[in-house]
A and B are shown apart, each in its own frame.
Chain A
Amino acid sequence: MEELILELKKQIIEALNLEDITPDDIDTNAPLFVEGLGLDSIDALELIVLMEKNYGIKLEDPGKSKEIFKSVATMAEYIEKNRTK
């Protein structure tokens, strides 16, 4: 799980162009949206692409996505259970 969390942080930084941030700067359990990294609606859509591209997970329901993208921890948990890649 630790390896996945580190990998995921690196992928998030790259996908969302978080240039001045390192994996160490991202608190695994902190909120990704509103507070924490302060991601916005386009970032959320880009995370949906990340899930499919890197882990083969298709997210069709935007409502469900909110829960999954709450934090890096919730994302990693969901990936562990549902990944096809």
Chain B
Amino acid sequence: MKKITAYCRITDRQVILNGKEPDIAFSGEPGSSRLTEIYRYLDAGYPKFHKMDNLSKAGFLASEMVLRALDYDRETPDGSTSVVFANKSASLDDDKRFQATINPDNYYPSPSVFVYTLPNIVTGEVAIRNKIHGETSFFILEDFDAEKMHTFIEWAFSSPGINRVLCGWTEYLDNHCDVLVMMVEKESPKGMDYNILNINQLYLN
């Protein structure tokens, strides 16, 4: 029986890790600066964070909290974990930023912004940070759909040698953050049952 062994929910209202709210003091409005506040709270020591776009920052932070809660070994190359995320807006938040750098009147295309105009980059950032060599994939849905999420996650498990899937919904657009990242494990003595109902519960909470 597959289990959800840890999860992290980041919305505009709150941050929840495994059912509890970490004591992060937020100042100001939801948006990019709030992501930096979470980063500082985590004291992650990963300056590359500041180069990421908002979508990658949000997904990275939720993944970081999940993996820390599981005492994940990020130094050893791991071929048995995959990263599968989905969202509604793809990389539109960063796409708009890049579009602003190719304004005909002020045309200076930015490579560091362009590289994030693909939604799957967040899965790459998580893989790099944690030496994850399994599958990394990204899907687009019109809205959060626990059944469809369950389908993609099952696909990831059907690849040989994959025992764990770090998965979830990583939506970020115009200062609005809607993220749920979970670790689902093939074999685990603890955690909640991995099923569509529970995925939905974690999202709607």
What residues make up the interface of A, taking CB atoms closer than 8 Å to B?
A: 15-20, 42-43, 45-46, 49, 52-53
Contacts and interface: CB of A to CB of B under 8 A. Distances in A.
Given A19-B36, A42-B115, A49-B111, 7 more contacts: A18-B47, A18-B50, A19-B47, A45-B111, A46-B111, A46-B112, A53-B108
Q: Is the interface of B mostly helix, strand, loop or mixed?
A: helix
A45 B56 CA distance: 20
A53 to B, nearest CB: 5
A17 B50 contact: yes
B51 interface: yes
28 contacts: A15-B112, A16-B51, A16-B112, A17-B50, A17-B51, A17-B112, A18-B47, A18-B50, A19-B36, A19-B47, A19-B50, A20-B50, A42-B51, A42-B111, A42-B112, A42-B115, A43-B112, A45-B111, A45-B112, A46-B110, A46-B111, A46-B112, A49-B108, A49-B109, A49-B110, A49-B111, A52-B108, A53-B108
Interface string B82-105: 000000000000000000000000
- Give chain B's interface residue range (CB within 8 Å of chain A): 10 to 19
Nearest to A15: B112
Interface in B17-50: 36, 47, 50
Interface of B: 36, 47, 50-51, 108-112, 115
Nearest to B51: A17
Contacts of A16: 51, 112
A49 B115 CA distance: 15
Contacts of A18: 47, 50
Contacts of A19: 36, 47, 50
A20 B110 contact: no
A19 B49 CA distance: 9
A21 B50 CA distance: 11
Contacts of B115: 42
A5 B191 CA distance: 55
Contact of A20 (B47, B108, B109, B111): B47
Q: Please list the 6 inter-chain residue pairs (A to B) with the smallest Cβ-Cβ separation, ordered nearest first.
A: A19-B50, A45-B111, A17-B50, A17-B51, A53-B108, A46-B112
A11 B36 CA distance: 21
A31 to B, nearest CB: 17
Contacts of A15: 112
A17 B39 CA distance: 15
